[in-house]
Structure 1
């Protein structure tokens, strides 16, 4: 991928952005998730850049992008606003949006709220907001798999997330898949990003700012009313690429037909971090779909 550019957005944050390809080509914006960066797409962006204008930001809170203080600065509406401000700054009107993990969650929301801007949507192991919340309530296995979110929302863990404490945390949580699977320059680059002042707190604030309710296994909280109310369908074609060995987001997340009229699902033999576990499969799925 190309060298990062730092862009000041109208939302008041500076984002580091990897930009490649010809601006005259169809634009694609790639959104990473936790605990990554634009590096999520390091094996995928070069292929897309052959015939697309490819934009891959380090989102707010990550790596060397801005890290505003306070949980309230990481609510999904602010992150969606960053996405649109980035597109505006680069003079992009409509675009294909690709998101993995938290980037996918932002992509679902952006596409629901701004269908005029998003021509096509590609989701990689990221849950639809209604399906995710419903399965956390109704599927005991998904609720169990989501308990790590409760841990991530505990602010008492933040002060220990430096040095060896950081590696211990990442080695004993959902994120341990990253530290197990990368080594050498890749691992050093990620550890450098995670070690930036305030980065771990900012990254975890995405979980803390989310409205998703994750009850304890023995808890029976009030059921959110929207789970049983009509929900708007997606207004653009959607490709869902899913690593079927994901232990955090179970196959129940693929029950999407009622909410995505133009749905294509591509299943991959990989875990949660499929963009760098099986990048060739991700590229092939996108190309078959017409990107």
Structure 2
């Protein structure tokens, strides 16, 4: 089981799932390229989506497996969708949290000003060095606000980040140059999408927090047209973007149900 985190996170965002699924799986929560202690090439070209996809393929090979259960959240969800499209033989089952099929995302953002506004950070991140500066000033105030504020933060009705949790995030992103790699992921996106070969043929579970401050819930509902296999969408009301951290018990239960049920391909 491979777990792909979002932005601005690292492997630690899957702490609840690492404990939960180790009873039946070898569970590996990665730091994506440029995050944490992974290699962090300087040039933005090193963070193109095809490089990120190849990273995951190489990691699976190095672990000695030909297939996996693939789970991705946010930006990690984007990569998970792309792996399922490009290397379907690698994925037994696909689970994505709060990110629609990439084609849905690109089409929706062009047609709906609300989503364009919610995704404004994609455009802000195209600016050299300034986004890194804004995240780091005032003792990483912007990063703390992202995780703790009423509008965007974790824990409306579920688990909140503890002081220790928040310190772990600040520690990772306060290392020299630690923000550039993560932000460089976004600096290539407009040259890579949309996809020509876009259908997913893997049994898929899409989990969605209804109160996501960054993604319109309608995108989740449209995603089903791009999955030519078993597809299940579960929308959790009053839950934020950070679903697997905010409601880990519910998320884990939904994942277990999906993993254990027989899934048949749609005719």
Residue 277 of structure 1 aligns with which residue? 246
Q: State TM-score, norm by structure 1.
A: 0.80
Flag structure 2 segments of 5+ consecutive residues without an equivalent.
Answer: 261-267
Greater share of strand: 1
The within-5 A match list for 1:6-155 is: 28-155=1-128
Q: Deviation string for 1:131-173 (max 9, x for gaps)?
A: 0000011122111211122112222414625754452332566
CA 1:98/1:162 → structure 2, altered by over 3 Å: closer, same or farther? closer
User: RMSD value over aligned CA atoms?
Assistant: 2.3
SS in 1 for 2:42: coil
Cα–Cα, structure 1 residues 280 and 179, in superposed 2: closer, same or farther, change >3 Å?
A: closer
Hey, what does 1:14 align to over in structure 2? none
**TM (normalized to structure 2)?**
0.86
- 1 or 2 for the larger relative contact order (CA 8 Å, sep ≥6)? 2
The answer on whether the counterparts of 1:241 and 1:265 sit within 8 Å (CA) in structure 2 is yes
Structure 1 CA distance for aligned equivalents of residues 13 and 133 of structure 2: 25
Q: Describe the shift of the 1:154–1:179 C-alpha distance in structure 2 as closer, same or farther (beyond 3 A).
A: farther
User: How many residues were matched structurally?
Assistant: 251
Which ranges in structure 1 are unaligned for 5 or more consecutive residues? 1-27, 214-223
User: Which deviations, in whole Å up to 9, do the C-alpha atoms of 1:254-285 show, x marking residues without a partner?
Assistant: 11221113210111131100010011111011
Residue number in structure 1 paired with 2:205: 239
CA distance in 1, matches of 2:20, 2:145: 34
Whole-angstrom distance in 2 between the partners of 1:232 and 1:186:
37
Cα deviation, 1:51-101, whole Å, max 9, x if unaligned, reads: 111111111111121111111111111111110111111101011100001
Partner of 2:256: 287
Q: Aligned-pair distance for 1:34?
A: 0.4
Where do 1:95-244 residues align within 5 Å? 95-158=68-131, 160=133, 164-165=137-138, 167-171=140-144, 177=152, 181-211=160-190, 232-244=198-210
Q: Which residue in 2 is equivalent to 1:267?
A: 235
Instruction: Write 1 or 2 for the structure with the bigger share of helix.
Output: 2
* CA displacement at 1:183 relative to structure 2: 3.5
Q: Output the CA distance in 1 between the equivalents of 2:246 and 2:216.
A: 17
TM-superposition CA deviations, 1:223-268 (whole Å, max 9, x none)? x8x69xx753211100001111101111121112211132101111
